[in-house]
Amino acid sequence: MTYAAKNLIDGHELIAFRIGDQEFCVNIMSVREIRGWTPATPMPHAPPHVLGVINLRGAVLPIIDMSQRLGMKRTEPTVRHVIIVAQVGPATVGLLVDAVSDILTITDENIQPTPDIANETEKAYARGILAIEGRMICLIDLGVLFPHIESEAA
């Protein structure tokens, strides 16, 4: 279990965001800032989910299309999209999402197991489902979703 996932079980805050009609959340402790969409400079030979890079106060920040990374259709960014600047292991990345929707405080009782219908890849990064206020929110472990970044820290 990664450090981020352990903190979630102890009852920390999560930041929820939308991609299409679905909601996801991550540990708020990994979030550095939330900013509006900035066009990214494409990088040659980058994986399909990497839209490119932007300059964030002098640092090169890779922008990840979370929709495509989670197996959904590629996002065509507009001024309405936002970038969640997150710390994943030793790296800082920008997560392109449709919108940030909420800050949630949870306990381990709020986390339901990932359904058996999910494939093994989804079960790996999905730490569970939150059923809160009539909403179904998938809890994502960024360390598992981006294992190449976590392994660079080892």
Cβ burial 53-80 (10 Å sphere, 16+ → b, else e): bbebeeeebbbbbbbbbbeeeebebeee
Which residues is 61 bridged to in the sheet? 54
**Any idea what DSSP says for residue 41?**
B
Report the largest interatomic distance among the alpha carbons of the chain, rounded to a whole angstrom. 45
Domains, the chain, in order of start with CATH, read 3-153 (2.40.50.180)
> Minimum mean pLDDT among 100-104, 130-134, 138-142: which range?
130-134
At a CB cut-off of 8 Å and minimum separation 6, what does 38 contact?
Answer: 54, 83
Whether 64 shows a pLDDT value over 60: the answer reads yes
Whether 82 shows a pLDDT value over 60: the answer reads yes
Whether 73 shows a pLDDT value over 50: the answer reads yes
Structure confidence at residue 120 (pLDDT): 57
Structure confidence at residue 56 (pLDDT): 94
Structure confidence at residue 23 (pLDDT): 96
Structure confidence at residue 143 (pLDDT): 87
- Average pLDDT, whole number, for the chain? 85
Whether 5 shows a pLDDT value over 60: the answer reads no
